[in-house]
Amino acid sequence: MLHTHNNILERETKREKHNISINDHNDILIEVLQRLDGRSLAAAACVCKKWCSIVRNDALWEHLCFRQLSVPPSVGVRSVVLALGGYRRLYLMCVRPVVSRLKKRRSNGGHTEVVRRLWNRNEVELSLSLFCVEYYERLLLGDGGAVGGGESAAKSLRFLCKTVNV
């Protein structure tokens, strides 16, 4: 995989020395984006249409949700999350506010771990539960219509910070 890329690069550098565009190499772009945090990802989505469509790919957000877990989640999680609205929504609605709230509480409590710490399994599980409740609430209220559509969270999540949507 890398070889082909190198070849392409070489060829292109020979042709147009100053015209290397990351936009031509999706997988590199994705590799880079995978290492960003949520906020930067959202910013990246504002760069151009191509980046926007790549960032909206749910796989990136799945990676973001779980990459800090010490133990990767079980197999069934993906189908459940996708059914309930996808990883981007999970991250925006639940994981991010949950983790940031808990991080704030912890640093307020006197522990000086400002360092990035691993999200633990419990936090992710709690996020998943809240996500499911939120889906159900939209079912109750929305009555069939735009179940997966709406960008705003159902009321049961209002107690978390209101998020800014991409």
Q: Please give the residue ranges that form the binding site for another protein (CB under 8 A).
A: 74, 76-77, 79-80, 83-84, 97-98, 101-102, 105, 122-123, 125-126, 128-130, 132-133, 135-137, 139-140, 155-156, 158-164
Q: Which is nearer to another protein, 9 or 86 (CB)?
A: 86
CB atoms within 10 A of CB 138: 23
Closest separation in Å from C-beta 105 to another protein: 5
Closest separation in Å from C-beta 152 to another protein: 9
Closest separation in Å from C-beta 162 to another protein: 5
Closest separation in Å from C-beta 155 to another protein: 5
Q: Which is nearer to another protein, 5 or 105 (CB)?
A: 105
User: How many DSSP H helices and E strands does the chain contain?
Assistant: 9, 0
Whole-number Å distance between alpha carbons of 46 and 43 = 5
Those residues whose C-beta lies under 8 Å from the C-beta of residue 1, and which sit 6 or more positions away, are 27
Q: Which is nearer to another protein, 38 or 97 (CB)?
A: 97
Query: What are the b/e assignments for 108-118, b being 16+ CB within 10 Å?
Result: eeeeeeeeeee
- State the burial class of residue 129 (Cβ atoms within 10 Å of its Cβ: 0-12, 13-18, 19+): exposed
Closest separation in Å from C-beta 151 to another protein: 13
Q: Which is nearer to another protein, 51 or 89 (CB)?
A: 89
Angle at the Cα of 79 from the Cα atoms of 76 and 83, rounded to 5 degrees: 140
Place of tokens 């994705």: 30
Q: Which amino acid is at 5?
A: H
Q: Which is nearer to another protein, 47 or 161 (CB)?
A: 161
